[in-house]
Amino acid sequence: MQFDSFTFLVFFAAVLAGYNALPGWGARKNFLLVASYAFYAAWNPPFLLLLIASTTLDWWIARRIDAAQAPAARKRWVVATLVVNLVVLGYFKYSAFALDSLAQALATIGVVYVPPRLDIVLPIGISFYTFHSLSYCFDVYRRKFAPTPDWRDYALYVGFFPQLVAGPIVRFTQMREQIETPRRTSADGLGLGLAFLTLGLFEKIVLADTVFAPVADAVFNDAAHANASGAWIGMIAFSGQIFCDFAGYSTCALGAALALGFRLPINFRNPYAAIGFSDFWRRWHISLSSWLRDYLYVSLGGNRGGEWKTYRNLMLTMLIGGLWHGAAWTFVAWGALHGGYLALERYAREHWWPGGRQAGRALAFAYGAITLVAVMYAWVWFRARGFGDGWAISRALVDVGGLSAGLAATTFEQRLAVAVFGLLVLVQALLRNTDPERAFRRLPAVVVGLLLAAMLCLIVLSPGNNHAFIYFQF
Amino acid sequence: MTNDADIANTSPRRWLVAWIVALAVAALALAGVERGWRAHGQVPNVLDSPQLWSTERDKVYGDSPRPLVLLGASRTEYGFDMPTLRAELPGYRPVMLAINGLYPLAVLRDLANDPDFRGTVICDVESNAFLTEYRELQQPYVDYYHRHWTPSWRAHRALLDVWQQAAAISNPDLGAIAMLRRALAGAPPPPRNYVAYHTDRSGDIDYTLTDPEGAKRHFAAVAETNVANLPKRTPESWFAEVRPVLEQARAIEARGGRVIFYESPISGFNRQIMDRVYPPELYWNRFAAESPVAVVSARDYPELVAFPLPDDSHIDYRNKAAYTRTLIGVLKAKGLLQ
């Protein structure tokens, strides 16, 4: 079920009413779990069984890890959960990609291999709930907490519908107390939650789907013929689309949870106002970047093995992070670019500016601009349908001679997308160190009401076709 | 982010005020926009889409009443009157799967490959439709149905039908971006759509709202361009392309279904172009003679070609019911429908 659907409006109203009508916390949790599973099954009912099986297995394995005393036995259990989760994820998400890559590799040595045509449907949200489960088992293995004996509580942690299919990737430590402590809808939580839902839907429906997506699609669906202005506009439009799409989903998730009395961690904090690449990753998809840092980068050795191992670990983390996003080499290229950016930044900081000298305003602005353009360029590879398209857009971007001629022929929709993206970056720069909640709370109630009214009007007056949230496919 | 305590400590009255203002202002503004568009002659209209198509695709199963699946392009979507079909053929459940602007053979193939489909198909084609270049035109709809059509979207589309039937502002042409574009360009408001859709996907063309002569020129130009851009087929090579389609029709009939290939009436330049490129005696008539399934051409029935086609291709909605009744009469007389 998508947040930007009538189905969700009806579903959410029914959940709010039913949840608050039940007297006991146990009953309300049962209700939330059933509602979450209905939310998931509304997409493809048979895959609910996979979610329940995965949940149950990881809940059980975590208890075995905790019960085992010998380090070797604990390790065996944690390896077992890692293997099972990655095999399931690999089968659904990477089988076709692996076989196609094998065929391409064999072709380079003259061996012809035609892989079977696999028509595997990717269970929605599998990358997200797999990471939920893995983080839980890893944390139990690291003795950060004892596993919950209550299957229902664990299943609600994994399956809680606001974050089930596209995050944020919540840690058990962030949810345990909230699940174990009785709560219900408060007037403030409902007011703020609905405001977040409105903001998220505005980002998704108005900005991502209506302003940015048509412009980005027009360029990337015909990348081979993109000229310089088209490439720049397409890159800008997709940069706007991917942020508004994914941040819109996360904002809706936070809002739906708040309305039910839960608080999910913020997932985006004005990333296009980042100054530097490590700063970008502290602001973009925060729950994923912290997951990759804690469970992948640190497990690989982090910065403990010397300078070059640190660079290697950074690069590996970002390559795997890229592949997590999708089964295509273009996602790996996107991860490689970010790995390269982070490594270069680290090298510069350690060798050219040791001691962390404070940057002046002009330098910070310049570095912020460089960060933004580099991040936008990386999105080209994220969006490109293949390496050919990525190269075609890349070549067009540096065709400075063709830029001015192309700019004169831009359409209204292209100019609007660029202007709205500029506005988006400006707003993020102005709100760089705050978040939507603080902004809502600071403004007078009437002004908040007028802002919400404007967003509601634009949502209703943007009746295009529904687009799936981009991150649903991950 | 602030913490849990902040939520509890903030005055509920603040959000009450904010949401009363928001809902009141939004309701007033949207009602004003709706009223403005209606004053300009706009009316609510259902929007055809892969989702709406999928709601119809869901209905092709079952035996009682027997599904009567209508395949084709605009001439079927705008030419078949669904209430008349329901009234005249009580033993059938009409299902509109025709898609404006796209030849239908990808959907026929999908039905042939569906072992649960055993209904009756009226597949509106012309000689051009069999060319491999046009074979996949409706495939994106088929793909959408098989890959993305979920219980959630079914419920969404049902609610969207209600909204689109109630609000003119549900039309993207009347949306905020389109309004802004026109305002900046000093362009006039868009004319009312001359096609009114129903939730069963059939459409009514009202030629008093458009320029039929302009449409006529447009269709003739499109036909000429399409013909010029495609390699010429000999009757033999054309029939080689027809043969797999007949196999698909045969597969449906082998399961107890029925397929009727139907060539709907066209006139004027459209007719001349089609007859010039595909002389019926070398193409269609041979197809009709060799086909193992029923083939009916409107040109063989004066009562069908007698209906006026304002743009040489489509029928005005005022004549739809009579045209549909006449066609049913023809098909019943041939024993193809009960």
Q: In 10 A of CB A401, how many CB atoms?
A: 8
Q: Within 13 Å of residue A435, how many CA atoms lie on the same side as its CB? A: 15
Query: Do A402 and A445 fall into the same domain?
Result: yes
Q: How many domains does chain A have?
A: 2
> Please, where are the H alpha helices in A384-435?
387-397, 400-408, 412-430
Asked whether residue A323 is assigned to any structural domain, the reply reads yes
Which residues numbered 147-166 in B keep a CB inside 8 Å of some CB on A? 147-148, 150-153, 155-156, 159-160, 163
Q: What is the nearest CA distance from A203 to chain B, expressed in angstroms?
A: 15
Residues in chain B: 338
Asked whether residue A473 is assigned to any structural domain, the reply reads no
Query: Do A30 and A144 fall into the same domain?
Result: yes
Chain A residue numbers with beta carbons less than 8 Å from the beta carbon of B161 are: none
Residue B169: which of A42, A448, A460 has the nearest Cβ?
A460
Residues 6+ apart with CB under 8 A from B199: B46, B52, B161, B165
Spatial distance between the Cα atoms of A104 and A119, rounded to a whole number of angstroms: 19
> Using an 8 Å Cβ cutoff, are A321 and A288 in contact?
yes
Query: Do A195 and A156 fall into the same domain?
Result: no
CATH architecture observed for domain B50-161+197-333: 3-Layer(aba) Sandwich (3.40)
- Give me the pLDDT at residue B7, please: 44
Average pLDDT, chain A: 91
Spatial distance between the Cα atoms of B176 and B331, rounded to a whole number of angstroms: 48
Q: Which domain holds residue A443?
A: 189-466
Query: Do A235 and A378 fall into the same domain?
Result: yes
Decide which of A422 and A302 is more confident. Answer: A422
Query: Do A351 and A462 fall into the same domain?
Result: yes
Q: What is the distance, to the nearest Å, from the Cα of residue A230 to the centroid of all Cα atoms in its chain?
A: 27
- Give me the pLDDT at residue B1, please: 43
- Give me the pLDDT at residue A474, please: 52
Query: Do A339 and A402 fall into the same domain?
Result: yes
Query: Do A276 and A158 fall into the same domain?
Result: no
Query: Do A159 and A218 fall into the same domain?
Result: no
Q: Within 13 Å of residue B203, how many CA atoms lie on the same side as its CB? A: 27
The single residue listed with the structure tokens 């496919």 is: A473
- Band of residue A292 on the pLDDT scale cut at 50, 70, 90: very high
Query: What residue segments make up the domains of chain B, in order of their start?
Result: 1-39, 50-161+197-333
Query: Do A200 and A332 fall into the same domain?
Result: yes
> Using an 8 Å Cβ cutoff, are B294 and B259 in contact?
yes
Last residue of a domain, one of A184, A216, A244: A184
* pLDDT for residue A179 is more than 90: yes
Question: DSSP letter at A453?
Answer: H
- Give me the pLDDT at residue B4, please: 47
In this prediction, residues A124-146 reach a mean pLDDT of: 92
Cross-chain residue pair B170–A463, CB shorter than 8 Å? yes
- Give me the pLDDT at residue A27, please: 95
Last residue of a domain, one of A126, A155, A184: A184
Spatial distance between the Cα atoms of B266 and B244, rounded to a whole number of angstroms: 26
Last residue of a domain, one of A166, A184, A202: A184
Spatial distance between the Cα atoms of A254 and A167, rounded to a whole number of angstroms: 10
Cross-chain residue pair B153–A7, CB shorter than 8 Å? yes
In this prediction, residues A48-77 reach a mean pLDDT of: 94
Question: How many A-B residue pairs are in contact by the CB < 8 A criterion?
Answer: 150
In this prediction, residues A333-359 reach a mean pLDDT of: 85
- Band of residue A358 on the pLDDT scale cut at 50, 70, 90: low
- Give me the pLDDT at residue B210, please: 87
Asked whether residue A53 is assigned to any structural domain, the reply reads yes
Strand residues in B252-299 grouped as ranges (E): 258-263, 294-297
- Give me the pLDDT at residue A467, please: 56
Residue of A132, A325, A338, A467 marked catalytic = A325
Cross-chain residue pair A412–B22, CB shorter than 8 Å? no
Strand residues in B166-239 grouped as ranges (E): 195-197, 203-205
Q: Is A338 a known active-site residue?
A: no
Cross-chain residue pair B25–A449, CB shorter than 8 Å? yes
Question: DSSP letter at A394?
Answer: H
State percent of chain A over pLDDT 70. Answer: 97
- Give the end-to-end CA distance of chain B in Å, rounded to a whole number: 69
Q: What is the distance, to the nearest Å, from the Cα of residue A42 to the centroid of all Cα atoms in its chain?
A: 22
Query: Do A133 and A208 fall into the same domain?
Result: no
Strand partners, B296: B262
Q: Walk across the sheet containing B120-124 and list its strands.
A: B92-96, B66-71, B120-124, B258-263, B294-297
Cross-chain residue pair A437–B171, CB shorter than 8 Å? no
- Give me the pLDDT at residue B6, please: 47
Spatial distance between the Cα atoms of A182 and A20, rounded to a whole number of angstroms: 12
In this prediction, residues A224-250 reach a mean pLDDT of: 94
For A96, the 3-state DSSP assignment is helix
Q: Within 13 Å of residue A328, how many CA atoms lie on the same side as its CB? A: 16
pLDDT tens for chain B, 338 residues: list them: 444 444 445 677 899 999 999 999 999 999 999 999 999 999 999 999 999 999 999 999 988 899 999 999 999 999 999 999 999 999 999 999 999 989 999 999 999 999 999 999 999 999 989 999 999 999 999 999 998 899 999 999 999 999 999 999 999 889 999 889 889 888 888 888 899 999 999 999 999 988 888 888 888 888 888 888 888 889 999 999 999 999 999 999 999 999 999 999 999 888 888 888 899 999 999 899 989 999 999 999 999 999 999 988 899 999 999 999 999 999 999 999 98
